[in-house]
Structures are given as structure tokens and as C-alpha cells.
Structure 1
């Protein structure tokens, strides 16, 4: 083939497409780099009755208002079934970003804590797991400093349980964890390996 062309065994010589990107950081924050193209990663990721948002190249799926369930699989009308949120605690230590993928691989999603009863539920799950130390949850201010959002839903915090002096708004500590000593929330460096919490729903 001549320069700027590539060989295709089915179509012969084809014009070589210019590479839009080689990594996510080459794209806008609401796009990801797939096959050297900056694309919307939402296609076919979220389940039924969901809203997909992308921040810092990371997908967040949330149930449409009035629906509940696992947004990566299926959300159902709140009026048709009673679903209860459950928590799972990962006993291996991983980074905050890896925790997102670990939860997805288990058909769950990264944990959010939106009310006092859920705070009690995640405390109970940690106690039952036997782990001790910091546990990642899906909160962060990666999108905008000081504006904390749950990665799993894309929604801002409406309930908090911060440790005294927290959150520390800093580029060094954008990700949220809770400590099994007092179950208060604190901000930490996302790249450090810690236990993690996932959530799922059951009727």
C-alpha cells in the first residue's frame, strides 16, 4: 500500500484513519479513548431505565427518578417492588479506581451512603466481614474540588458522616473512605490500596 494507507485483507488498501487519541487524557473529560477514537462510553453500559453520565472519563450509571435497582443491569419502578440495598465488603486492598471495576465484576456497583440507615447497614457489613481499617466508598470530588459526588449514581452528597476536620479538600486527597474504628468518613489518596464496599439490591 502507498503511504497513509493500510492493508485490509477483505477490502484491500484503505486510507489510514488519523488517531484521535492514545489514552483517555487525550479526549474531553466526558469521552474515553477506544480504538484510538474519542467516543461516548455510555453505549450499552447502563441497564434499563437509567441515566448515564461521564466525568473524568469514568462512567456513572444511575436509576431514572422513580426507579430503583442496579443501574448497570436493570432499574424497576419503585411502585412495583420493594428492593433493599445490601452491602458487600471486598477483603483485598485495591485502589479507588480498581474498586469500581471489582464491584462491576461482581454485578454490583461501588457503594454510596445516602442516609443514616445505610450508614448503619455498611457498618454492620464491615463488622461481619471481619476487616479493620479504611474502606473505600464511591464518593469523590474528582469532578470539581469540594463538590462530592457518588460515582455509582452521579449524585451529590445529601447525607454525610465526616470525621472532625474532614473533608480535606485537596488534589492529594480526592477520594472518600470510612474507617472501621468509628465509621466516620475521610478523604484519602485514590491510588492507595484499601478495602472497598460494593452495593446491590434484593427484594
Structure 2
């Protein structure tokens, strides 16, 4: 790979990661910009991406889309989002029914959803509404939506897995 190609790839990666800004300073054992709750760290994006791109962006950050498995976790995320947004379209989280319609599963762990907090009329199971998000108009209850629509997203990482430096960067000196 030529030097120009490497520079271009690094530049594109910096552009994507640089735009994944967060809205809070570090807490507990979470890295800067991530919010701590129970045993996890959460990053709330300002960037809008499709669901598959959001899943990939979280992977670049050594995390996954938020996997909501308890009422306490859902309550925390809803309270946090309602506190920072008067109204928002929504945030992508982990979950889809891409393989079998109406059979929702976590993509990060390959298991059926064990907790849901669907908004009114959700999941609507509309044609190709296969990805899970927290709907702003429903005060951040769950809903299904078109995976190719650009939305903000929430990444989640186990506290013990949180790196102490920027992921993927080599520190010299």
C-alpha cells in the first residue's frame, strides 16, 4: 500500500471517528466522553449513520450498539436522552429482525431480545422496518425502523473492556 493510500485511509478514519463526538466527560472507569451506568460505558453519538454503519462505528470503538437487557438500563437511557433532547428522531441500538420478520434478536450476542419497551403501535413491522431504535417522539421507547435511514446511535462497552487510550492508535514517545 502506498504512502498516499495509507494517508487517505487514516484521513477517512479520522473523519469518521472525529465526528463521533460525545456529550459528556468521562465517568468512573469509562474513557473520556462515555457515560457510566452499572457495569457499562455508553457513548451517545452526534453523528447520524445507517444502522449497519452505526454497528460498524461502534466496533471501531471496541464496543457494540447498546444492548438493552433490563428495565433499569432502559430507564437510564430514556432518562438521559430525555434530559438532553426536547425532541429527537431516535438513536439506533442493538437489535433487528433481519433474519425472520418479528423475531427480534441482538446482533452482538446472537440471542433473542430478553427485554423490550415498545412505543405505542411498535413494532409496526412495516415493510423493511427491521432495525431497533429508541424513538424520540415516544420519549425514547423502542421502535422498529428502516435500517438504511441515518440516525444517531448509542455504543456500549463493558467497563472492564474500556481502553485507557484511543482505540486503534499507537502512542509514540
TM (norm. structure 2) is: 0.63
State the Cα distance separating 1:138 from its structure 2 match.
1.3
**Secondary structure of 1:191's match?**
coil
Q: Which has the higher helix share?
A: 2
**Secondary structure of 2:111's match?**
coil
Matched, 1:200 2:149: no
Give the match for residue 56 of structure 1: none
Cα deviation, 1:106-144, whole Å, max 9, x if unaligned, reads: 111111111111102222443566583211111110011
Mapped to 2, the partners of 1:188 and 1:144 lie a distance apart of: 15
Query: Over aligned residue pairs, what C-alpha RMSD do you find?
Result: 1.9
Q: Which has the higher strand share?
A: 1
Unmatched tracts of structure 1, length 5 or more: 1-82
Cα deviation, 1:14-60, whole Å, max 9, x if unaligned, reads: xxxxxxxxxxxxxxxxxxxxxxxxxxxxxxxxxxxxxxxxxxxxxxx
**Secondary structure of 1:178's match?**
strand
Larger radius of gyration: 1
5 Å matches for 1:27-176? 84-127=39-82, 132-176=88-132
State the Cα distance separating 1:162 from its structure 2 match.
0.4
Matched, 1:189 2:146: yes
Mapped to 2, the partners of 1:128 and 1:186 lie a distance apart of: 20
User: Is the Cα contact below 8 Å between 1:86 and 1:200 reproduced in 2?
Assistant: yes
User: Is the Cα contact below 8 Å between 1:89 and 1:125 reproduced in 2?
Assistant: no
Post-superposition, which runs of at least 4 consecutive aligned residues in structure 1 deviate over 6 A? Answer: none
Q: May I ask how many residue pairs the two structures share in their alignment?
A: 121
State the Cα distance separating 1:91 from its structure 2 match.
0.9
Greater relative contact order structure (CA < 8 Å, 6+ sep) = 2
Unmatched tracts of structure 2, length 5 or more: 1-37, 161-173
Mapped to 2, the partners of 1:150 and 1:125 lie a distance apart of: 22
